[in-house]
Structure 1
Amino acid sequence: MSSTKASADSSGTGLRVALFLEEESGNWHVRRLAEAMRTRGVDVVVTSLPRCAFDTQLASGIDIPGFDGALPDAVFVRSISAGTLEQVTFRLGILHALRESGVRVWNDARAIERCVDKSATTFLLHKAGIPTPRTRTMETQPPAVAYVDEAQRPLIYKPLFGSQGKGLLRVDDAAGLPAAEAADNIYYLQDFVPPSGATFEDWRVIVTRRRVVAAMARRAGTWITNVHQGGAPSPHEPSEEMAQLAGSALAAVGADYGGIDLIRTPDGRLLVLEVNSNPSWRGLQSVSEVNIGEAIAEDFLHAVAEHRCHQPEPRLAAQTQPCLA
């Protein structure tokens, strides 16, 4: 094999792709993505970032299981896996190194870093002029208490690195704030958006740089509408406004694909709540006629083809296939 790129498969597209999964979770999403890519002639190696290594004995400097020291043509990041700060930093370092080595990474480390940190996401949305609920993030409890006392309106506390609706708290006064230790001394406080009626509703939109893939409404009797927390999904055809806002939010964080959470205020304004760089779509798939895994895989491979067409140096081994974009 080439020390730079994995050798081409003699059949299909010649592409070799690394698909990084979550070490401790089920592989429902990964199976669908891998099947969709393999149907299109791609050689998919399913592995995880915790199994990778930096190795200066290798010409590439990066050891990914299944590639014998060579590099894949592209990487799809389904998960970086949970771990300590050092472990997560190391895994993001692998993704940064792959990108610097010319490998197309979906989503790359920069986008993941921006989305996993809600404060960074909110800042980038605000900087791009994308409407969001007012949000303030600060260190230590005293400034948080002062902000809650000054606000005198319902707020939502969110763990900075949380997901799937876990750890959310409604804060009506300072007594509702979590203890400093429980919050890791970081307080992300967002204005509470009340419902227009008796039912709480928001929307999840799966979007890539090419298109809106699918969307659903999420409804619940409480303000936490996440499907993992008991929210009921239903099919939804996003309006042009929703589609444009979701696409703009994706661009603001520099992601290739993501799950955009939208909510509408009682006076009709549409706001972006969050951008998820590794969105789950199992609940959405249950109410969607679109094969979401197929659509995401198609857009990923389209991006890889475009990337291959714009490489400044002659392609090696697996790089000799014609442009598909």
Structure 2
Amino acid sequence: MSLRRADTVVIFTEDADWHTRRLRAAIEREGFTVLVLSLNDCGFAIGETAHGLVLPGLGDLLPAAAFVRLIAKGSTEQITARLGLLHALRELGVKVMNDARAVERCVDKSMTSFLIAQAGLPTPRSFVGEDRAQMQALVDSAPGDMVLKPLFGAQGRGIRRIPARAPLPEPDRVGGIYYLQDFVAPAVAESYQDWRVFVIGDTVAASMLRRSPGWITNIHQGAVGVPAPHDPRAHDLAIRATAAVGADYAGVDLIEDEQGRLLVLEVNSMPAWKGLQRATEIDIATALARHLATTLTPVPAA
């Protein structure tokens, strides 16, 4: 069955913030109408609508494409339903950027680490488990400090540095799951920085170094972004890491170890870019909109 499409790109988000406003304007410059929706307000209507979905403002029409900016926190059931809707749009042939598969892989840091390693990319040793005693044994036998991260987390919140043989928190303090990663000592002692590389398609759109007086190098935690030097190693790793998780675009975090080797830390499928744009003066929203437009064929009038 052929379903009619609107000449509309949906931005899924929870806030008409700076990012959404910039992205909306950029997509409109590409000739599309933009509809901003929360996934919370969408759902399924199987046997009722032509496509079986509830998409406020579109009725029986499918969007030309969808851009996933933010997904709200919620219960397991709520998150499953929201991701299910993104899966359904993809099954209906709608371009979703990033689609649910990439979002799921990046939100779950354990899967991100697994896929990065499977792609043959350098990344710190990582361990995930529920048993506190087993994970404590890893900390006690580690050659150096480890980093305890929330399995689902962003913007540097909830990250802890665990010295060798220091006690891990109780399970209820970490959501019942421990994600441990070797701490990567900086190439220059007490000089903390990492890379944020923004990949769109198979191209690096912009990159910056995030420098901090402390070991957490996130802009939201007080780090300062400066333009990164051109480094083919960093660009290659970031592009390959983005491909490894199946994302159309991503914010890839890299770190340089004491030997000068770059390692992939994380891949973010819904990255912010305000700090990056401030540091590099590159219009990320325009680059995202142009990439999305190139993936679409002309949409006939409904």
Shorter-chain TM band: over 0.9
Q: Please give the residue correspondences for 1:250-265 in structure 2 after superposition, counting only pairs within 5 Å.
A: 250-265=242-257
Query: Is 1:270 matched with 2:269?
Result: no
The answer for the alignment partner of 2:225 in structure 1 is: 233
Once the two structures are overlaid, the 10-residue window that deviates more, 284-293 or 222-231, is 284-293
State the percentage of identical aligned residues. Answer: 48
Helix, strand or coil at the partner of 1:87: helix
Cα-Cα RMSD = 1.6
Gaps of 5+ in 1: 8-14, 309-314, 319-325
Does the aligned pair in 2 maintain the 1:207–1:214 contact within 8 Å? yes
Question: How many residues end up aligned between the 2 structures?
Answer: 300
- CA change 1:26–1:58 in 2 (3 A) is closer
Output the CA distance in 2 between the equivalents of 1:186 and 1:275. 20
Output the CA distance in 2 between the equivalents of 1:144 and 1:82. 27
Q: TM-score, normalised by structure 2?
A: 0.95
Query: Is 1:32 matched with 2:22?
Result: yes
Output the CA distance in 2 between the equivalents of 1:300 and 1:176. 47
Listed one character per residue, the Cα deviations across residues 250-273 of structure 1 (whole Å, up to 9, x for unaligned) are 000000000000001111111000
The answer for the alignment partner of 1:215 in structure 2 is: 207
The runs of 4+ residues in structure 1 deviating greater than 6 Å are none
Does the aligned pair in 2 maintain the 1:21–1:27 contact within 8 Å? no
Does the aligned pair in 2 maintain the 1:19–1:77 contact within 8 Å? yes
The answer for the alignment partner of 2:33 in structure 1 is: 43
Output the CA distance in 1 between the equivalents of 2:259 and 2:229. 21
Q: CA deviation at 1:81?
A: 1.4
- CA change 1:203–1:255 in 2 (3 A) is same
Q: Please give the residue correspondences for 1:67-146 in structure 2 after superposition, counting only pairs within 5 Å.
A: 67-146=58-137
Q: Please give the residue correspondences for 1:54-69 in structure 2 after superposition, counting only pairs within 5 Å.
A: 54-56=44-46, 57-69=48-60
Helix, strand or coil at the partner of 1:145: helix
The answer for the alignment partner of 1:6 in structure 2 is: 5
Once the two structures are overlaid, the 10-residue window that deviates more, 246-255 or 196-205, is 196-205
The answer for the alignment partner of 1:185 in structure 2 is: 176
Output the CA distance in 1 between the equivalents of 2:134 and 2:66. 42
Gaps of 5+ in 2: none
Q: Please give the residue correspondences for 1:9-24 in structure 2 after superposition, counting only pairs within 5 Å.
A: 15-22=7-14
Q: CA deviation at 1:3?
A: 8.2
Output the CA distance in 2 between the equivalents of 1:52 and 1:69. 13
The answer for the alignment partner of 1:287 in structure 2 is: 279
Q: CA deviation at 1:165?
A: 0.2
Q: TM-score, normalised by structure 1?
A: 0.89
One-letter amino acid matched to 2:211: R
Helix, strand or coil at the partner of 2:4: coil
Query: Is 1:202 matched with 2:201?
Result: no
Does the aligned pair in 1 maintain the 2:141–2:165 contact within 8 Å? no
